[in-house]
């Protein structure tokens, strides 16, 4: 949750219920697995890891978003020049 | 931790108190999740929720609290729909609901044509008539989509229909009391229909046998045609331009006729339920029983509500008596909530039996 907040410059504040809903769905479709569990301050803490399918999917999504961003940037450059 | 008043509070205790209060409140919010889910994820979730809270915070943020409640209720509903029998039951309700709504709309639509135009008080209000003309084919198509197992089409249609019924409800709040009653009950049925259609998206089986469809269609036909039977023999003889006499030879047995039609509708609906697959039939019966009982009692207790005819003096909400208010507001809510609780208890009973047998 803190990582998401930091990576998004405070723009995305993930709620606990939403986070666990997403984790459940990702686990159901086999994109993540429980990596390990630890007890911290007498409370269970669970760590998740991407599966091979999850890594492949993340790479594909990253590439798709990069292409979209590149396409947007290429449209933006001539417009900036015109200004 | 409880502190005695005469005991000076240490710094550590003062620091712990808000954290403990916050943890207690988060635990209460997590109670919205199913017990099995809490057992698997509760500790972990609590840790995350506490980690994102500020130092000294005593109450969960409102957004976080709402999110936990909504997610918890969603998890409970999703848990119910993981069972194929529940999904098939939802598929049945996703057809029965639109059939009921279409029958109600046809009935409203037919009213002005059945009554003589010289008796304006009996004619349905104009906006109600216009919307009924739109709703009758719409809900019929949603029911057909459900029958043909076009689940996504049925779900989309049910959600749009629900939106229309909610708009209709909002429009009738300042209008006729009778129309408001009709719109509220229709919106409640549309809500159940939309939820059922969404819950049945992954249902595999054929929802209704032809026998069940025939019984349901016959019940809908009685509901839709009831006003026609009521006024079939009513005649109006004008005396002057603004007055006349009404003759109703069936007025003496009108009550019995209405009771007979009501009983016939209920018997046909029970026949439709009886024609379902046993596992689905039991669940549908458990879900619908409270709605059936409360509606029947309400109809008998409050004569004016029988038939849900969109009429009544144009004085908005003020004409409703306290009993009518209770019927209007509480019966659909009690029906839905009691049905869901009944289904949960029934599943628990089945699990216990299965554990004993195992």
Query: What pLDDT does residue B309 have?
Result: 41
Rounded distance, CA B45 to CA B26, Å? 9
The answer to whether A12 contacts chain B (CB < 8 Å) is no
**Are the CB atoms for B83 and B91 separated by under 8 Å?**
no
Distance between B44 CA and the closest CA of chain A, angstroms: 5
The answer to whether A16 contacts chain B (CB < 8 Å) is yes
pTM, 2 dp: 0.65
**Are the CB atoms for B95 and B207 separated by under 8 Å?**
yes
**For B13-21, which contacts have Cβ atoms below 8 Å and span 24 or more sequence positions?**
B18/B56, B18/B57, B18/B58, B19/B50, B21/B58, B21/B59
The answer to whether A25 contacts chain B (CB < 8 Å) is no
Query: What pLDDT does residue A68 have?
Result: 94
Most B CBs within 10 Å, among A5, A13, A16, A43, to test the B interface? A16
Nearest to B47, CA basis, from A40, A9, A55, A80: A40
Rounded distance, CA B206 to CA B147, Å? 8
Nearest to B124, CA basis, from B161, B179, B168, B171: B179
* Average confidence (pLDDT) per 10 residues, chain B, 358 residues: 41 64 92 89 88 84 91 82 83 90 84 55 61 89 91 92 90 71 86 89 80 88 76 69 69 68 83 88 87 73 48 47 70 85 86 81
Q: Do B70 and A17 touch (CB under 8 A)?
A: yes
Query: What pLDDT does residue B28 have?
Result: 93
From chain B, pick out residues whose CB is under 8 angstroms from the CB of A45: 44, 47
- Residues A34-56: tens digit of each pLDDT: 998 888 777 778 889 999 999 99
**Are the CB atoms for A50 and A35 separated by under 8 Å?**
no
- Inter-chain CB pairs, A–B, below 8 Å: 44
* Nearest residue of B to residue A5, measured between CA atoms: B52
Handedness of CA B302, B308, B309, B314 (dihedral sign): positive
Scan residues 42-81 of A and list those with Cβ closer than 8 Å to B: 43-46
Q: How far is CA B153 from the centre of its chain?
A: 20
Most A CBs within 10 Å, among B29, B43, B79, to test the A interface? B43
Nearest to B276, CA basis, from B101, B103, B89, B84: B89
* Nearest residue of A to residue B72, measured between CA atoms: A17
Q: Which residues contact B92 (CB under 8 A, 6 or more apart)?
A: B196, B207, B208, B276, B280, B284
ipTM above 0.85, yes or no: no
Most A CBs within 10 Å, among B37, B41, B62, B69, to test the A interface? B41
**Are the CB atoms for B175 and B313 separated by under 8 Å?**
no
- List of E strands, A14-73: 32-40, 43-50
Q: Which residues contact B209 (CB under 8 A, 6 or more apart)?
A: B275, B276
Query: What pLDDT does residue B255 have?
Result: 63
Query: What pLDDT does residue B5 have?
Result: 39
Q: Do A44 and B43 touch (CB under 8 A)?
A: yes
Among B44, B51, B64, select the one facing A44 at the smallest CB separation. B44
Q: Do A1 and B43 touch (CB under 8 A)?
A: no
List, in sequence order, every residue forming a beta bridge with A38; answer none if it has no partner. A45
How distant, in Å, are the alpha carbons of A69, A71, A74, A75, A77 from that of A81? 18, 16, 12, 11, 6
Nearest to B320, CA basis, from B175, B121, B177: B177
* Nearest residue of B to residue A19, measured between CA atoms: B45
- List of E strands, chain B: 235-238, 244-247
Rounded distance, CA B113 to CA B129, Å? 11
* Nearest residue of B to residue A17, measured between CA atoms: B68
List, in sequence order, the alpha helices (H) in B81-176. 84-114, 126-147, 151-172
Nearest to B187, CA basis, from B333, B19, B324, B5: B333
Annotate B92-117 with b (16+ C-beta within 10 A) or e (fewer): bbbbbbbbbbbbbbbbbbbbbebbbe
The answer to whether A21 contacts chain B (CB < 8 Å) is yes
Angle at which helices B35-51 and B11-30 cross, to 10°: 140
């Amino acid at each position: 949750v803190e990582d998401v907040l930091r990576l998004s410059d405070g723009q995305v504040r993930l709620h606990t219920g939403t986070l666990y809903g997403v984790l459940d769905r990702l686990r159901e479709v086999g994109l993540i697995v429980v990596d390990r569990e630890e007890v911290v301050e007498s409370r269970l803490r669970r760590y998740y890891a991407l599966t091979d399918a999850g890594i492949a999917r993340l790479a594909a999504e990253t590439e798709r978003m990069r292409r979209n961003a590149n396409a947007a940037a290429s449209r933006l450059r001539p417009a900036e020049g015109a200004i | 931790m409880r502190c005695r008043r005469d005991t000076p509070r240490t710094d550590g205790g003062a620091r712990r108190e808000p954290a403990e209060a916050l943890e207690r409140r988060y635990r209460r919010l997590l109670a919205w999740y199913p017990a099995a889910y809490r057992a698997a994820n509760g500790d972990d979730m609590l840790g995350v929720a506490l980690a994102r809270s500020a130092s000294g915070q005593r109450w969960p943020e409102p957004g976080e609290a709402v999110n936990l409640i909504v997610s918890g209720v969603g998890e409970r509903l999703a848990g119910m729909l993981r069972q194929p029998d529940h999904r098939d039951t939802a598929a049945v309700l996703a057809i029965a609901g639109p059939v009921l709504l279409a029958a109600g709309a046809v009935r409203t639509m037919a009213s002005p044509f059945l009554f003589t135009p010289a008796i304006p008080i009996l004619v349905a209000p104009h906006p109600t008539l216009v919307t009924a003309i739109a709703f009758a084919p719409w809900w019929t198509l949603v029911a057909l989509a459900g029958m043909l197992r076009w689940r996504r089409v049925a779900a989309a249609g049910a959600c749009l229909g629900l939106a229309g019924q909610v708009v209709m409800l909002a429009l009738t709040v300042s209008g006729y009391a009778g129309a408001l009653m009709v719109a509220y009950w229709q919106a409640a049925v549309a809500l159940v229909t939309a939820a059922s259609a969404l819950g049945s998206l992954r249902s595999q089986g054929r929802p209704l046998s032809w026998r069940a469809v025939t019984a349901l269609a016959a019940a809908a036909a009685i509901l839709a045609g009831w006003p026609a039977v009521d006024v079939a023999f009513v005649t109006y003889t004008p005396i002057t331009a603004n007055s006349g006499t009404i003759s109703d030879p069936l007025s003496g047995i009108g009550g019995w006729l209405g009771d007979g039609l009501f009983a016939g509708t209920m018997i046909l609906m029970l026949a439709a339920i009886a024609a379902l697959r046993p596992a689905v039939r039991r669940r549908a019966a458990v879900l619908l029983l409270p709605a059936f009982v409360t509606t029947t009692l309400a109809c008998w207790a409050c004569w004016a509500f029988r038939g849900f005819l969109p009429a009544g003096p144009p004085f908005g909400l003020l004409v409703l008596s306290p009993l009518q208010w209770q019927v209007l507001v509480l019966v659909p809510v009690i029906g839905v909530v009691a049905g869901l609780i009944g289904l949960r208890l029934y599943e628990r009973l089945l699990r216990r039996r299965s554990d004993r047998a195992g």
